[in-house]
Amino acid sequence: MFDVSTRTHFSSGHHLRNYPGNCEKPHGHNWKIEVTVRATKLDELGMAIDFRTVKNALKEIVDDLDHRDLNEHPAFLNKNPSSENIAVHIFESLQKLLTTDRYRPYSVTVHETDNCGVTYRAD
């Protein structure tokens, strides 16, 4: 197995509906994202997946989240834009773009601060 990872970031605002604390109020984060794609074998060039392919797919997803109120994004109209739900959204979006017989998304990690983050894997 080969695990290929890349990182990016985006900025956006959100609030957690019905949260018993400060996070119920609108606030923003500079989200840090790391995605890992797992490949079962290498291609004819000796690559699991081209970094550029992973980065371009991730950019397409993150550009849709950047500089907006996540509570107004279609993916979060009926659920809180928590770090957990953001990780699932990115993972499921990547599945549509990066799933072949040789590779597929393995994990998405979302950090809302330097010290707090969550990783989602569909095992």
User: In the block, which residue shows the tokens 């500079």?
Assistant: 30
How many domains is the chain partitioned into structurally?
A: 1
pLDDT digits (tens, 9 = 90+) for 71-105: 999 999 999 999 999 999 999 999 999 999 999 99
Model confidence at 26: pLDDT above 90: yes
Residue 18 lies in domain: 2-120
- DSSP per residue, 51-92: HHHHHHHHHHHHHTTTTSBGGGSGGGSSS---HHHHHHHHHH
Candidates 24, 67, 72, 116; catalytic one: 67
* Cβ atoms of 7 and 33 closer than 8 Å: yes
In this prediction, residue 123 has a pLDDT band, given cuts at 50, 70 and 90, of confident
Structure tokens, 26: 């609108």
For residue 94, the model assigns a pLDDT of: 98
The three-point CA angle 83-85-88 to 5° equals 110
For residue 106, the model assigns a pLDDT of: 98
Task: Fill in the amino acid letter for 45.
Answer: L
Q: Is residue 116 flagged as an active site residue?
A: no
CATH number at residue 75: 3.30.479.10
For residue 122, the model assigns a pLDDT of: 82
Model confidence at 59: pLDDT above 90: yes
Q: Is residue 112 flagged as an active site residue?
A: yes
Candidates 15, 23, 73, 92; catalytic one: 23
Q: What percent of the chain clears pLDDT 90, i.e. is strictly above it? A: 98
Candidates 29, 89, 111, 112; catalytic one: 112
In this prediction, residue 48 has a pLDDT band, given cuts at 50, 70 and 90, of very high
Model confidence at 60: pLDDT above 90: yes
The pTM score is 0.95
